[in-house]
Amino acid sequence: MRTRRAEFLSGVRAQLPILLGTSPFGMIYGINAIKAGLPISVALGMSLFVFAGSSQFIAAQLVATSTPPGVIVLTTFVVNLRHMLYSASLAPYVRHLSQLWKYLLAFLLTDEAYAVAITRYQTDDELPADQTNFHWYTFGAGLTLWVSWQISTAVGVLLGAQVPESWALDFTLALTFIALVIPTLRDRPAIIAAVSAGVIALAAHGLPYNLGLIAAVLAGIITGLLAERNIAWTSERAT
Amino acid sequence: MTLWLMILGMVIVTYSVRLSVMAWLGGDGLPPVIRRGLRYVPPAALTAIIAPALLMPEGRVDVSPGNLRLIAGVVAAVVAWRTRSMLLPIGVGMVLLWVLTAVAG
């Protein structure tokens, strides 16, 4: 069994290379939030407490177009629904922990921390009895990301006003999401889900308050599930 | 004040989703249909944000060569697909947009 300290430190180390990608992202969030007219305290507060990059980006953009707060919260919910999958995936590994630990790890549960943690849990060949201190690894990874997210947001907030409009930095949101979406298009149902969500998002763009986004995500989930079932049927008939 | 209430709302929905299975449901986790459905949230949500940003930068659908963001975005997607890198597509897309803007302008 490895000590808590050793687990914590190797969690920190595993997270470090990922900071190369998340730090510019956090900085650009800070810049965009200021450009969108958010007060400095609110821009920083969102990073401190919500700690969910893509939804923070979207929220800043929606505030700029004076979307009502309720719609922004609903959009955040839909965009962050994917975290339920991470929560379910980690559940068996944290079952033995106290409720306090679960609340702590859940707060730090982001795409990047999940990716690091699940790799550790799944590739480990130690006996289950030796996994006692794994949660310290997850905590180390999550805390590293949280701290660096605060720093990079603060840098972006400080730069915010000085970045000229002509740099078109708002485009980094679309580019970041492109880099994130490509690896998720693993199979045909996922591609069908993405395409139908994209089409609905374009068609429903005129809807008030960006509600088209929510409609698009729901349409994507439903078509993805239908495509999955269809493929299952077809392959059953073929065999 | 309203903005802080909005943050509170965002914290509640985000944290609840993260806590859901891990701290509240426990046990066997999610029903399979929900688990499968959630797999489609990332491709759907991300594409739903990307599509209007690339195809309607001025508020209406524009697939002409004059739509520089579409060109830069498509190239970035190809880079993302070929390299599986997170940073490269962002860098290439941004630089391409600047170059195209400078050339077109």
Q: Would residue A216 count as lying in a domain?
A: yes
Comparing CB atoms, the residue among B34, B55, B84 nearest residue A202 is B55
Q: Are A60 and A76 in contact (CB under 8 A)?
A: no
Residue A26 tokens, joined = 């956090």
Q: How many CB atoms lie within 10 A of CB A222?
A: 15
Q: Which of A107, A130, A164 delimits the end of a domain?
A: A164
| A39, pLDDT greater than 90 | yes
Residue A142 near chain B (CB below 8 Å)? no
Residue A99 near chain B (CB below 8 Å)? yes
Q: How confident is the model at residue A182 (pLDDT cuts 50, 70, 90)?
A: very high
Q: Would residue A152 count as lying in a domain?
A: yes
* Residues A141, A199 within the same domain: no
* Residues A43, A105 within the same domain: yes
* Residues A118, A235 within the same domain: no
pLDDT in tens, A133-152: 889 999 999 999 999 999 99
CA distances from A105 to A46, A91, B15, B59 (A): 18, 11, 11, 41
Residue with token string 């940003």: B53
| A172, pLDDT greater than 90 | no
Which pLDDT belongs to residue B38? 87
| A233, pLDDT greater than 90 | no
* Residues A154, A211 within the same domain: no
pLDDT in tens, A87-140: 988 898 898 899 999 999 999 999 889 988 888 887 666 555 567 788 999 999
* Residues A22, A120 within the same domain: yes
Sign of CA dihedral B58, B63, B66, B67: positive
* Residues A139, A225 within the same domain: no
* Residues A203, A160 within the same domain: no
The arithmetic mean of pLDDT across residues B11-18, rounded, is: 97
* Residues A150, A196 within the same domain: no
Which pLDDT belongs to residue A112? 86
Sign of CA dihedral A69, A200, A206, A184: positive
* Residues A159, A45 within the same domain: yes
Q: Would residue A169 count as lying in a domain?
A: no
Give percent of chain A with pLDDT exceeding 90. 54
Among the listed residues A35, A142, A62, the one whose alpha carbon sits nearest the alpha carbon of residue B3: A62
Which pLDDT belongs to residue A19? 87
Residue A69 to residue A77: CA distance in whole angstroms: 12
Residue A107 near chain B (CB below 8 Å)? yes
- DSSP annotation string for A117-161: HHHHHHH--S-GGGGTTHHHHHHHHHHHHHHHHHHHHHHHHHHGG
Which pLDDT belongs to residue A138? 95
Query: Which range has highest mean pLDDT (A130-139, A203-212, A216-225, B35-44)?
Result: A216-225
Among the listed residues A159, A92, A227, the one whose alpha carbon sits nearest the alpha carbon of residue B40: A227
Q: Name the domain count of chain A.
A: 2
Q: Would residue A193 count as lying in a domain?
A: yes
| B80, pLDDT greater than 90 | yes
What are the boundaries of each domain within chain B? 1-30, 40-104
Which pLDDT belongs to residue A208? 79
DSSP state of A206: T
Q: What is the ipTM of this complex?
A: 0.89
Beta-carbon contacts of A21 under 8 Å, excluding residues fewer than 6 positions away, are A112, B86, B87
Q: Would residue A177 count as lying in a domain?
A: no
Q: Which chain B residues are within 8 Å of A76, Cβ to Cβ?
A: 9-10, 13-14
Q: Would residue A92 count as lying in a domain?
A: yes
Residue A161 to residue A34: CA distance in whole angstroms: 7
Comparing CB atoms, the residue among A88, A90, A194 nearest residue B43 is A194
* Chain A contact probe: residue of B1, B5, B16, B18 with most A CBs at under 10 A: B18
- Of A213 and A189, more confident: A189
CA distances from A36 to A7, A32, A109, A160, B97 (A): 40, 6, 27, 10, 21
Q: How confident is the model at residue B27 (pLDDT cuts 50, 70, 90)?
A: low
| A82, pLDDT greater than 90 | no
Interface of B with A in 11-40 (CB under 8 A): 11-15, 17-23, 25-26, 29-30, 33-40
* Residues A138, A196 within the same domain: no
Amino acid at residue number A157: V
Least confident of A160-174, A185-199, B74-88: A160-174
Q: How confident is the model at residue B97 (pLDDT cuts 50, 70, 90)?
A: very high
Which pLDDT belongs to residue A130? 64
* Residues A14, A120 within the same domain: yes
| A239, pLDDT greater than 70 | no
* Chain A contact probe: residue of B3, B21, B49 with most A CBs at under 10 A: B49
| B65, pLDDT greater than 60 | yes
Which pLDDT belongs to residue A73? 96
Q: Are B49 and A205 in contact (CB under 8 A)?
A: no
Domain coverage including residue A234: 185-239
* Residues A138, A197 within the same domain: no
Which pLDDT belongs to residue B28? 63
Residue A134 to residue A137: CA distance in whole angstroms: 5
| A198, pLDDT greater than 90 | yes
